[in-house]
Amino acid sequence: MKKIAILTSGGDAPGMNAAIRAAVRTAVTDGLEVLGIQRGYSGLLDEDLIDMDYSSVGGIMERGGTILRSSRCEEFRTAEGRARAGDILKARGINGLVVIGGEGSLSGANLLMEEQGIPVVGLPGTIDNDIALTDMCIGVDTCLNTCVETIQKLKDTASSHERAFVVEVMGRSSGYVALASGIAVGAEAIIVPEIPVNYEEIADKIWQERKRGKINCIIVVAEGASSAYTVARHVEHRIGYETRITILGHIQRGGSPTAFDRVLASRMGYTCVKALEEGDTGTMIALQSGKMKRIALGKVLSQKKSLDMELVEMATILS
């Protein structure tokens, strides 16, 4: 292995820069040439490549987003697009590719390896924490901290005005971000796509708590389950509780990564280069019980990460 390339793809996630830094510095230390592909698979198809060396990744660990930038690329979804990408990588003499991104990006990487024989290693980088066989993805911890900080502020206003706040968080079709942030702020209700929503039950619970003297109410809803508007309408309509909504949106994807994300991303960036060097390709680097593991991409992508039902039960008891 002489020359590798790195790209970030799909939704950005805090910590991607720390992963890029770790991968570049590990590869350079081991004598490899490193190219950065800008704007994900779109940039690959446009041959938007830059040379990277030890100092080119200085001072980026604390920065949110990705210095390589990102995109969602329609052309790469086609076999023709991937064939063109394979030709470009081969023509450039690139014999190892690191892909940092979510499920769609990792699926693309897997197909690139299967169809074009490009050795790839993937890193799970998404705030959604919806990738199977890894306990955490890069960016999740920072996203959760952003959610908690913001919801905590809303709680102040909820108490002052004796209102309910419905907060919609991201997560695509996963309820992880809603569940974890809801637990961390002591939300009265958490609505996730994995469990059918029962508005009557939620409204009744909130009403009982109100009668007991509780002066605020936070409901966290995952974007994949319902919308904040719908939930608020149900609550107001059923119990007449004055309700406001907040959609956290892309604020959850930005910001300087937490220490956890910096360490996780550094470990994953380091490990992916070692995996490429050792021919352990077609894999994703995962965090399992505190350890770095190399798991076949096909295995990762054939499974859906399920929500921890014990956490759901605990959240119900504690709220």
Supply 120's token pair.
């790839």
Query: Is 171 one of the binding residues for ligand F6P (CB under 6 A)?
Result: yes
The CB-of-168 to ligand F6P minimum distance in angstroms stands at: 11
Query: Is 69 one of the binding residues for ligand F6P (CB under 6 A)?
Result: no
Query: Is 235 one of the binding residues for ligand F6P (CB under 6 A)?
Result: no
Per the residue annotation, which of 12, 128, 130, 261 is the catalytic one? Answer: 128
Position among 6, 11, 16, 147 found at the interface with ligand F6P (CB under 6 A): 11
Residue among 276, 198, 228 at smallest CA distance from 27: 276
Phi, psi of 29 (to 5 degrees): -60, -35
Query: Is 126 one of the binding residues for ligand F6P (CB under 6 A)?
Result: yes
On whether the CB atoms of residues 163 and 282 are closer than 8 A, the answer is: no
| Contact string 85-104 vs ligand F6P (x = CB under 6 A) | -----------------x--
On whether the CB atoms of residues 43 and 88 are closer than 8 A, the answer is: no
Query: Is 220 one of the binding residues for ligand F6P (CB under 6 A)?
Result: no
Query: Is 253 one of the binding residues for ligand F6P (CB under 6 A)?
Result: yes
* Span from 24-32, 121-129, 189-197, 279-287 in contact with ligand F6P (CB under 6 A): 121-129
The CB-of-294 to ligand F6P minimum distance in angstroms stands at: 23
Query: Is 172 one of the binding residues for ligand F6P (CB under 6 A)?
Result: yes
* Span from 63-71, 107-115, 120-128, 267-275 in contact with ligand F6P (CB under 6 A): 120-128
The CB-of-279 to ligand F6P minimum distance in angstroms stands at: 30
* Span from 24-32, 113-121, 166-174, 303-311 in contact with ligand F6P (CB under 6 A): 166-174
| Edge-to-edge strand ranges of the sheet holding 291-296 | 49-52, 33-37, 3-9, 97-101, 120-124, 283-288, 291-296
Query: Is 9 one of the binding residues for ligand F6P (CB under 6 A)?
Result: no
Whether 128 is catalytic is: yes
The CB-of-180 to ligand F6P minimum distance in angstroms stands at: 14
Q: Which residues are catalytic, by number? A: 128
Binding residues vs ligand F6P (CB under 6 A): 11, 102, 126-128, 170-172, 223, 253
